[in-house]
Amino acid sequence: MELPVEISTAHAVKELIARAILDDVPCTAEAARRTEQMASQRLGSVRLYPHQLSAVRRIRLAMDEFGGALLSDEVGMGKTFVALAVARSFQRSVIVAPAVLRDMWSQQARRAAMELSFISFESLSRGHRLDDAHDLLIIDEAHHVRNPSTRRYRELSHMAMRSRVLMLSATPVHNRRRDLTTLLSIFLGSRAESLAAPEIGRCMVRRRIDSAGLAARIPRTGALIWKEVHDDDRIPAALLSLPPPVPVRGGGDGGVLVASSLLRQWCSSDAAFEAALRRRLARAMAMMTALESGFYPSASEISAWTIVDDTLQLAFPGLVSAPVEDGVELLDTIRLHHDALRELLRSLDPRRPRDIERAALLRQFRTTHSGVPIVAFSQYAETANALFRELRRERGIAVLTARGARVAGGSITRREAISRFAPNASGAPSPHDAERIDLLLATDLLSEGVNLQDAGVVVHLDLPWTAARLEQRLGRVARLGSARTRVFAYGIRPPAAAETLIRLEATIREKTRETRTSIDPATSAERIRSILESWRVVQAPMGGAELPLTGESMRVGAVASRHGGFLALCARGLRFALLASDGLQVTENPSRILEMIGHAGGQSIRPRAETVARSLDMIRGWLRTKRTLDLTEPENAHVAHARRIALHRVSAILENARPHVRSRLLQLGERARSSILGRLGAAAEAGLVQLAAAEMSAEEWLAAVAEYGENYSDSEDGTANVVAILLFEHRDFHRDPQRS
C-alpha cells in the first residue's frame, strides 16, 4: 500500500536515515526480537563495546538476508566476543577453527558463561565431521578454507547446509577476489559469484580501528622500520643457474619454482636455506635411486622414502613406484641437479654469518625497548630455532614452533610459553623474574587467534607472501586490552639480489591492492556509516516523531544542491536499505551512494511537488525491476546452472499437466520454485544437481524438490516500501522563496 507523503525538514529526514541504518533497526517485530536477544552489553564476565554490539545487530540482519555473514574487522577489535554474542541466541553452536585455537575458544567461552562444540580444520581434512544437530556454524580464521578443492571445504559445506553461518577473518583475501567468493559460497552457493557491491557490503562487516572509535583503546602502529643484513649476490646467481630437477611422475615443480622457493628461504636465514638445500638434495637422491632401479615415482610414492638428517631410508622401489622403460635421460638430468645442489651446500659458510647479524639486531631491539616484550615472527621453524641457538644464553628468550616451545632450561608447553610472555593477555599470574619471557621467537603458527597484548614490539624476521600475514602478525599485539599507547614494528629487508628475482615486496603490494579492490564495497559501506554518524545530531526539531516502522507515512525533505538526485531509505524484507540517484538512474552501489551523500550538506528547503512525484516514480520502477530480476527471471546471474535446469523442469511439468491434476500440481510447483530460488549453500546446490536429474513421476519429483527446499533453502521476502527521501534540488535563493 502506498504511504502518504509527509513533507519534513532535511535535518529530520537525515536523522531518520541515520537512525535506521546505524542502529540496524530490523523491519519486523520478529527480527527485532531476535536482535534484542543478542544485544545485551553483558556476556558472562565480559562487557561488550559499542562497536561489538553494532556488529552483532548487523550480523543478525545479514544472516536473515543471506543465511550467513562474514565478520572481517581489523585484527584486535574483538571478533571472538562478537561471535559469542551472536551464538547466545542459538540453541547449539559449533566452532570450526585451526586446532591450535581450541584452548583459546574454550577459555573465552568460559568467560562468556557458554558451552560450545569445537572441531578443527585438521579434523575436517581427515574426514571427521560433527552431526547436523547445530543451528549456527562459526568458522574462525575462515581464510583457511578458501580452496574449494580441499576435503575440509567439502565437509564444512555439508555442515553448513542446515544452519546459519558466521565467518571470522580479518584477512579473507590473501591472493585474489576469488578467495572471498569461495568463502561466501559455503552459505550462498553460486550466488556468491555474482554478488553486487551493495550485497557484499551487507553480508560482510568490516570496520577499521579508527572508524569504529577505537583509536584511543588500541595502540598506534607506526610505519614499518626496515633493517638490513649482509647481502651476498653469489647465492641468487647460483640458484638461477641450477640445472632443473626431474619432476615427479604426473607433474611437479620446475627449475624456476625450485629457485624461487630456495631464494625465499635464503632470505629468511642461513639455517632455513641450508635445511631447504638438504631436503632438496635428499629428494634428488631418492629420485636417482628409483630411476636406477627402473622405476619412476610420483609425489605420493616418493613420500615412502624417509629422510633423517643425511640418512636416506629407502622403500623397495618396485613396491612403491611405476616402472619406466627408458630412464637414462631422466637419470642424467637428476644427477646434474643433485651434483649442483651438493656443490652449493659445500660452499656455504658454516658460521652462518647472516644469522649472527639477525641475532645482533634482536639484541639491539631489546636494548632500544628495554623491558618491553618483543615477539619475532618467521615463516620457517629453522629460522626461529637458529636465532634461539644464537641467543639462548641470554635471559628471557624462548622459541615456539609447531613442535613445541623451548627455553634455555629445556622444553615447556605452548600454553606455558605464552603465559610467561603475555600473562595479562592470557589471564595468568605474573611469572617470577627468572621465568619471564621477553623475547619470543615464533613461527606464523602464533600469528592467528592468540592474544599477545603484553608485547610492544613486533619483528618480521622475513616477509611472507601476503600482506594479510603481516597484518595478522601485528594484530596479535595491537589489539583491544593492551595497556600500551604504541606498538613498534621492525622488518628485516630481503637482500637486494634476491628481491630483484622474487620481488617479495612488490608481490605483497600487489596482493594488498587486490585485497582492497575485493573488499571495497564493505569499505564504502563503512564510510557511509561514518558520515551518517554526523547526521544523528538533529539541527532542526523533528517534532518528536519515531521511525515510521508501522508504515504510517513517508518522510520527504530536500536540500539545495548544485547536483540533482536523491537518497531514499527503503524497508526491504527484514532490513532498511539506502538507494541513491543522480537524477538519471537509481543505484544501491555503496560507492555511488557515498558520492551522493557528499551532496547532502546544503541548506534545508521545501521540496517541489513535481520533484517528489518524479523521484517516487523512479524508485518504484527500480524496485519493481529489482524484484523481477531477483525472483522471477530464471536466467539471471544469481541462479546457478542446476537451478535453471530444475526451474525448466518445473515449468515443463506444469505446462504438460492434465487438467484434472493441474490444480494440485500448481501448488506443488509454487513450493518447488520457491525452494529452487531460495538460499542454497555450496553443498545444498550439489544436492540439487542430483535431484534435478532424478527419475521419478512428475508429482513425486515436485514434492521431493519442495521438501528439499524446506530442509535446505531459505527464501526471503523481497517486498519493499519507501520510508524516506532526501532530495537534492537546484534552487536560486534570490528568485525562489520556497525554503523550509
- Residue at 431 is within a domain: yes
- Residue at 324 is within a domain: yes
Predicted confidence (pLDDT) at residue 377 exceeds the cutoff of 90: yes
Choose one of 290, 311, 346: the last residue of a domain. Answer: 346
Tell me the mean pLDDT in the region 104-113: 88
The rounded mean pLDDT for the chain is 78
On whether both 375 and 485 belong to a single domain, the answer is: yes
On whether both 77 and 186 belong to a single domain, the answer is: yes
The mean-pLDDT minimum among 41-45, 80-84, 128-132 falls in: 128-132
The mean-pLDDT minimum among 248-252, 266-270, 429-433, 638-642 falls in: 248-252
Q: Which three cell numbers stand for residue 610?
A: 513535481
Tell me the mean pLDDT in the region 668-690: 77
Tell me the mean pLDDT in the region 541-547: 41
591 — pLDDT class (breaks 50, 70, 90): confident
Element at 566 (helix H, strand E): strand 565-572
Identify the residue with better confidence: 191 or 24. Answer: 191
Q: Tens of pLDDT along 281-340?
A: 888 887 787 777 777 666 555 555 544 444 444 444 444 444 455 557 678 888 888 888
Residue (of 319, 317, 320) closest to 294 by Cα position: 317
Tell me the mean pLDDT in the region 238-251: 67
Q: Which residues pair with 569 in a beta bridge?
A: 578, 724
pLDDT score, position 641: 66
Predicted confidence (pLDDT) at residue 418 exceeds the cutoff of 60: yes
Predicted confidence (pLDDT) at residue 511 exceeds the cutoff of 60: no
On whether both 79 and 8 belong to a single domain, the answer is: no
- Residue at 212 is within a domain: no
Q: Which of 12-21, 366-375, 700-709 has the highest mean pLDDT?
A: 366-375
On whether both 340 and 357 belong to a single domain, the answer is: no
On whether both 388 and 271 belong to a single domain, the answer is: no
On whether both 137 and 271 belong to a single domain, the answer is: no
Tell me the mean pLDDT in the region 348-366: 93
The mean-pLDDT minimum among 150-154, 166-170, 653-657 falls in: 653-657
β-strands 374-378, 439-443 pairing: parallel
Predicted confidence (pLDDT) at residue 447 exceeds the cutoff of 90: no
Predicted confidence (pLDDT) at residue 471 exceeds the cutoff of 80: no
- Residue at 680 is within a domain: yes
Residue 533 CA: distances (Å) to CA of 15, 129, 343, 568: 9, 44, 66, 17
Identify the residue with better confidence: 363 or 650. Answer: 363
In angstroms, the CA 239 to CA 233 distance is 10
**What's the pTM?**
0.58
pLDDT score, position 493: 82
Residue (of 243, 324, 248) closest to 291 by Cα position: 324
Residue (of 652, 596, 588) closest to 626 by Cα position: 588
Q: Which residues pair with 459 in a beta bridge?
A: 376, 490
On whether both 372 and 496 belong to a single domain, the answer is: yes
733 — pLDDT class (breaks 50, 70, 90): very low
Which CATH number belongs to the domain containing residue 39 in this structure? 3.40.50.10810
Residue 291 CA: distances (Å) to CA of 95, 322, 340: 47, 10, 19
Predicted confidence (pLDDT) at residue 581 exceeds the cutoff of 60: yes
Predicted confidence (pLDDT) at residue 89 exceeds the cutoff of 90: no
- Residue at 463 is within a domain: yes
Q: Is there a contact between 714 and 67 (Cβ–Cβ < 8 Å)?
A: yes
Q: Tens of pLDDT along 190-224?
A: 778 777 777 787 888 888 776 656 656 777 787 88
The mean-pLDDT minimum among 20-34, 154-168, 642-656 falls in: 20-34
Q: What is the percent of the chain with per-residue pLDDT over 90, rounded to a whole number? A: 19
Tell me the mean pLDDT in the region 489-511: 63
pLDDT score, position 485: 82
Residue 9 CA: distances (Å) to CA of 12, 328, 383, 582: 5, 87, 65, 21
Q: Is there a contact between 345 and 337 (Cβ–Cβ < 8 Å)?
A: no
pLDDT score, position 543: 38
Identify the residue with better confidence: 508 or 714. Answer: 714
Predicted confidence (pLDDT) at residue 508 exceeds the cutoff of 60: no
Tell me the mean pLDDT in the region 113-118: 90
Tell me the mean pLDDT in the region 263-280: 89
On whether both 570 and 671 belong to a single domain, the answer is: yes
On whether both 316 and 379 belong to a single domain, the answer is: no
Number of domains, the chain:
4
Residue (of 704, 651, 706, 703) closest to 678 by Cα position: 706
Tell me the mean pLDDT in the region 459-464: 87
Domain residue limits at 78: 26-195
Predicted confidence (pLDDT) at residue 78 exceeds the cutoff of 90: no
576 — pLDDT class (breaks 50, 70, 90): confident
Predicted confidence (pLDDT) at residue 637 exceeds the cutoff of 60: no
Q: Is there a contact between 687 and 723 (Cβ–Cβ < 8 Å)?
A: no
β-strands 565-572, 575-581 pairing: antiparallel
Tell me the mean pLDDT in the region 110-119: 90
Q: Is there a contact between 375 and 476 (Cβ–Cβ < 8 Å)?
A: yes
In angstroms, the CA 701 to CA 698 distance is 5
- Residue at 223 is within a domain: no
- Residue at 118 is within a domain: yes
Choose one of 346, 365, 389: the last residue of a domain. Answer: 346
Q: Which amino acid type is present at position 494?
A: P
Identify the residue with better confidence: 251 or 567. Answer: 567
On whether both 39 and 10 belong to a single domain, the answer is: no
Q: Tens of pLDDT along 57-77?
A: 889 888 888 889 999 887 778
On whether both 727 and 579 belong to a single domain, the answer is: yes
Within 8 A by CB and 6+ apart from 537, the residues are none
Choose one of 283, 318, 346: the last residue of a domain. Answer: 346
On whether both 382 and 498 belong to a single domain, the answer is: yes
- Residue at 340 is within a domain: yes
pLDDT score, position 541: 39
735 — pLDDT class (breaks 50, 70, 90): very low
In angstroms, the CA 134 to CA 152 distance is 18
The mean-pLDDT minimum among 145-159, 387-401, 564-578 falls in: 564-578
